Every structure is written in C-alpha cells, then in structure tokens.
Amino acid sequence: MTSSSVTAPLSSLTGVIERITFHSSESGYTVARLNTGNVKQLITIVGSFANIQAGQTLQLQGVWAEHPSYGSQFQVVKYKETKPATLTGIEKYLGSGLIKGVGPVTAHRIVKHFGLETLEIIEHQIDRLIEVPGIAKKRIAMIQRTWEEQKSIKEVMIFLSGHGVSTTYAVKIYKQYGDSAIATVTTNPYQLAIDIFGIGFLTADKIARNVGVAPDSQFRYKAGIIHVLDKASEDGHCYLPENKIIPMSRELLTVKGVPDSSGSNKRGQNEDETSTEIEEKTEHEADERAIVNILSEMVQLEELIRERDENEIIYYKPTFYYSEQHLAKLILQKIENSLDVDSDRVKSWINRYTASRKIQLSPQQYLAVLKAASEKLMILTGGPGTGKTFSVHTIFKLWKAMGRKIACAAPTGRAAKRLSEMTGLEAKTIHRLLEFDPGSMGFKRDLDNPLECSAIVIDESSMMDLFISHSLFKAIPKDCQVLLVGDIDQLPSVGAGNVLSDMIASEKITVVRLTQVFRQAAESAIIRTAHQINRGHYPQIEPISMKANSDCLWHSGGTEPEHGVQTVKELIEYYIPHAGFNPATDVQVLCPMTRGVVGTRNLNKVLQQLINPKSEGKDELVRGDSILRVGDRVMQLKNDYNKEVFNGDLGMVMKFDHIDKKVNINFDERDVVYDYADLNEITLAWATSIHKSQGSEYPVVILPLYTQHYVMLSRNLFYTGLTRAKKLALIIGSEKAVAIAVKQVKQQQRYTRLKERLEKAI
C-alpha cells in the first residue's frame, strides 16, 4: 500500500475495525473507526485499503495528523491483517459479509458455541459447524468454499492493491482467472483490459509498469494501439485513418506525471487530488516511427487490417473489417432481385382492405405497402405522427394475406413489446430472436441455421450497430423479405457503425420516407415540437403552469445548473403528482451528459433521495460512496448474454441476499441474479443519458438542457430525447441552450465504409 509522502517517524496501532465511515471501491480510500480496547475512545483512521470490513483486526503503521474539521486522525501508511483475538472481533469478522453463508445471526451462534477457537475450527475442522443450531450441511459446504476462496482472494487483493487496483476490480479479476490471477496479471497485465469490464488500458498500464514492463516495449505499444481503436469504437467508429491513429496512440503511450527523484512532490492518497506544486516531467516520449513500424507489423500478423480509402490509409481491427465487409455482401445479395408479385392484385387487396375498415392511406403510406409486397429489403423511415405504426400494421396484414410466416424483432425489450402490441404477434429482442448460445458465445441462428420465417420486420432499426446487424443478416433466409423501420433523424446506434444511415445513403436499397404529419397526431405538442426542432426552428412551447393542458411544456430553469436541480425536484414533488402521474414509475429524467450538476450521476443521487429514500425496513447496499436500495430503478451498462440482459435495459432492485452476496433485479417481469462483484455492470437509472434512452418510451420525460452540456448539444440529441415522451414532456433549462441545440446539426462523422462497400460492391 502507498500513501502520501510522510517525513514524521511512524507510529504503530493495533485494533479492531468498529465501523466503516467511508470507502471508495475505486481508489480504496477509506475513513474508518478503530477500537484499540477503549470503546469510548474510538480512533479515526484514514488510508487506502484493498479490502476492509468491520470486525477485522489490523496492525497499522502511520502518523498522527490534525484535521481542521474532524480533529485527530491516524494516517495509515502500511497495514497488516491479523486474526481477531477477542470474541467480539471474531463475531464481527465472521458476520461482516466476507463469508457467504454467514450473516450476523449465524456468526453470533458460531462464536457462542466455539468461543476463541472459532477460526481454528473453521480452518481445520469445519465439519464441526454441524454442532451449531441452524447450520445444515449445505450451509457448511458454502462456508467452506467461500472461506477457501477468501484465503486465495486475499493474496490476490494484497498483490493488486500494491499496484493500484481497487477492491471491486480485484474481486472481478479473481473471478475471471481464479488461482492463476497473479500469474496472468504478472505475465500479461494488458489482458485485463480485454477480459474485465471496467478495467481499461490506463489501469492495466499502471500494473504493467509496476511489474516491470518497459514504457517503450513492443508489447505495450501494441496494447495502446488496440486501446485507441477500442475507444474509437465506443464513439461509433469502425476504423481510424492513419492521421488519427498515430497521434492518438502517441499521446496515450507518452508517460507523464512522474515526480522528481527527491520524492518531495509525490501525490496524495486521494487519486482525485492535484497540486500545483507537482512538476510533471515526461518519462517516456512515445516514438512516432516506432508506432508506424508496429502498425505495419500488426498488419503483417493480421492483428490489424490496413486499407486505402481514397487518399488515406485506414486501420481496422479484424472483427470490424470482416463484419462490415460481409454485411455489405449479405445486403447486396438480398437486393439482387425483387420478388415476382402481381402488383395489380396487391393494389386490389390494399383498396379492399382500406375500404372495409373505412381508412385512407396517404400516398407515401400506399407506396410503402405496395413496395413491401415485392421488395426483399426495404427501409421505412419517418418522424413521429407520420403513420409508421399504421403502415407497418397494414404491411403485416398484407404479408399474412400473402401467406408469409412473419417474425418480429427490435433491439430492446421495450421496443419489442411495442412492436408486439402493434402487430398482435410475438416480438423478441434481436438477441433472443437469434438465440444466443453461452457455450460458443455466439448465436445459434446463422448462415447454417437460418431463422424459420419468410418475412421479418425490425423496428427501431436506427439502433442497430455493425455487429448485431451482421449477425441478423447472416440468420435471415435467402428469400425472406426484410422490413427495417426506424427514425433516421434520431441519434445513431450506441455501438459502432451507422448502419441504417449508410444503407439509405448508398441509394442501393428501396427507402420510403413518411413526411406527412397526420391531423390527429399534429394535435400533440410533443409531435409538433419535434418537427419544429427537426426543421431547425426554435420551438414554441407553452410554459408550465397548474392550468396548462399541453403535453409538451417549458420551464425556465434559469441559467445556472444548480437551479435546474432544484427545478427537477420541484417538478417531481409537486407538478408530476398534480398532473396525475406517479414519480416512481412514470417519470424518466433524460440528460445530455453523465457529468456535471445536471448530469445523470448527480441527478441520480438527488432523485434516489427524493423518490426512493432510506426508510425503516427498506433494505439497501452501501458500496463506497454509492447506495443501492430495494425499489431503485437501475440500468444495465453492458451486454451480458448469459444473464440475457443488454446495454440500456431498465430494471428494478427487488431484494438483497447479504449472506450469499447476491441481488435480484427484475427486468421486464424476469428476475435476474447478480453477484455483488458484478454490480459495476449496473447503475442507478432515475436519470439516464439520452443516448441510453433510444428505443424506449416513457409516460413522462423531464429533459434538462443547459449550456454546461454545450459539447453534447445538438438537434438530433434534443429531438431524440423529446420523442421518448409518450404522454408528457417537460423541458427545463436555459433558452440559450435550447437555441444551441436546435442550431447545431452535430451528426458526428463516424468512420464507417458500409456505404462505400454498398455503392462499389467491394
């Protein structure tokens, strides 16, 4: 363990951790109260701990300091855990949650029965636990398994904490590699960035340097280049041009921030602290020529694919290159020939169908239905209120009349549910439609085992990224008709690629765009406002008042973000209930960004305290500076095929099992069990980013827009957030921010070549 530079002589303390006041799972920074034998005078200790629990007996070395607000503190420099020597210490240690199968009640029974010999009994004669009332053989097996695991994991924890890895990630590393964790980390620390969700290149690089990997090693340079491409893919890019990847890699691989050899300006314990007195120097200036050489070597080893795009050289990771290339091939094969259909007969069916139901299709809708009869691949796009839903419904009726076996799917569970309600047929998420196989970590449905359908509709198709699109088209039978439905003016997919836009821009695929807003839909202020934004006009929105009856309202939240937080609270507490909605189930706050006062991170804490506060009898889990409670709305942050929950899925916390260290979360009426170590895969979701809301609808949306969000403000972001509201949209913020959002057509360029591959049939 390391700490800030200490010049005073070290003092020693031994005691039992009475309680944890604060613990950051990321940095390990901890404030705790230590009992050295005088329970009336607990000592405050501060320091960085890999794994700390109430009941642990610790031998500490450090210095005494006087905090201006909190008084005397012992600043820990080094520590060592010893077995607790008192009955109280043993009971607290066992009941702290470290050992699955042992809670406070069970710990009390065990210690009452075995006394000071408790830990020796567990270590060497664990079968004797059967003597304790209420402990069965099954429970003993669990205790034995986790006791052994704790011994192994403690070694890993100590090793990793010495290299700056937090407790949370140490647990995940152990779960991934088991007893070979230390060997894996020592041999190839960069493997962590590939295998462990949440660990990136920077953390792996810190470990690599500590275990002796040289800053200019080829191993490190390769890992850095891959990291640059991975980060680019998070921004939607499928490749990077040479004039981007070289400087980005050079910046990443240059090592800075090393203090001078005197040690007088080492950083403090808290990783967020900075000091103007620290003079950074460059330990290693990354060599551009070395990066170019390694890029060439990686191409020769087929670790990267190099291609020339017009006048520039570009670099792909192989999975991106082959997926994009093969997707283009599958699309081109799909559109080679249209089906031989009697158009007069189709027109006759449309006329009979509309007449019998006394409905009338717009010319654009009529064209969409007519084309859907014969096209093997068609895109239907349009904004809210333009009749996409009714057009799809009519196409379904036509396909059924033609004897088609129809499949329905969408990227998210909520979008699939809406599609099912629209068509009357079962609709699945694309992942479930393709039948993920945990054994092979791939989909069962593919070229060799295609879907059993002759027509398929995919709703919210603007959300489809490169990889899910490729997997889908591989599984679609050769003669199956495909209808892709989506709003092209929404934000592009969260994942890499810009598939729907590229397909439309290629002009190779039949596209019907609905633009006519129907009179009934135009009565909705949400729809009128959305189209005003899309046309680049400053929206005319009615101010919020208790008498307002519009479904789209404006509240000037001032220019300061702090005022915006107060406005959100007032809307939740007063206006939402007055309007007849339930804040706990009907309202979603959507933010342009995660950071900042009116970002999702801060608003989630505010909203949790407001909507789901701590109360007697309500169970919760405290993890560092974050709290998770029963009843909290949460969001999944990564695709987890084994659990069948995917990036952006919303769930609710149902219960905690503090003995087995598990939590049940309900996603769409299906309970999913998480280990505590996997909880970094979810986050509170009372407030979410607009990007994460794609494909979802909510009864009420609160949309804060402030100039603090300037870097993210854009027309399609504003439009996407607004159109998530089904019954009521409440826009708050500054008029300047709204004007910026409407003005900026910030359709970020994504480095993709699907359009070119379709155009040139590469």
- Annotated binding-site members for ATP: 385-389
By C-alpha distance, which of 181, 137, 133, 178 is closest to 161?
A: 181
Instruction: In whole angstroms, give the CA distance from residue 421 to residue 69.
Output: 59
Pair 46, 34: CB distance under 8 Å: no
Is 59 within 8 Å of 76 (Cβ atoms)? no
DSSP 652: E
Instruction: With both helix axes pointing from N to C terminus, report the angle between 413-423 and 388-401 in degrees, rounded to the nearest 10.
Output: 60
The DSSP result for 240-308, as a single string, is EEHHHHHHHHHHHHSEEEEPPTT-TT---SSTT---TT---EEEE---HHHHHHHHHHHHHTTSSEEEE
Residue 362 amino acid letter: S
Q: Which amino acid is at 73?
A: Q
CB 241 within 8 A of CB 229: no
DSSP character for 134?
Answer: T
CA-nearest of 28, 17, 38, 31 to 74 is 31
Contact 604, 595 (CB under 8 A): no
Which residue type, as a one-letter code, is found at position 681?
E
**Angle between helix 600-611 and 561-570 (nearest 10):** 30
Would you state the structure tokens that stand for residue 494, as one six-digit string?
């969260």
**Rounded to an integer, what distance in angstroms lies between the CA atom of residue 631 and that of residue 653?**
5
Tokens representing 495 are 């994942």
59, two tokens: 């031998």
Q: What angle do CA 167, 169, 170 make, to 5 degrees?
A: 60
Q: Detail the residues annotated as belonging to a binding site.
A: 385-389
Closest listed residue to residue 477, CA positions, set 451, 458, 456 = 451
Q: Under a CB-based contact definition with an 8 Å cutoff, are residues 315 and 248 in contact?
A: no
Do 73 and 45 form a contact (C-beta atoms < 8 A)?
yes
- Token couple for 418: 């809406």
In contact, 79 and 61? CB cutoff 8 Å: yes
* 3-state helix vs strand vs coil in the chain, percent to 5: 40, 20, 35
State the Cα–Cα distance between residues 304 and 321, nearest whole angstrom.
9
Determine the Cα–Cα distance for residues 132 and 109; give it in Å rounded to an integer. Answer: 7
Structure tokens at 375: 């096209």
CA pair distance 78, 6, nearest whole angstrom: 12
Distance CA 402, CA 208 (A): 62
End-to-end Cα distance, the chain:
56
Q: Are 433 and 451 in contact (CB under 8 A)?
A: yes
How far apart are alpha carbons 510 and 381 in whole angstroms? 11
DSSP code, position 454: S
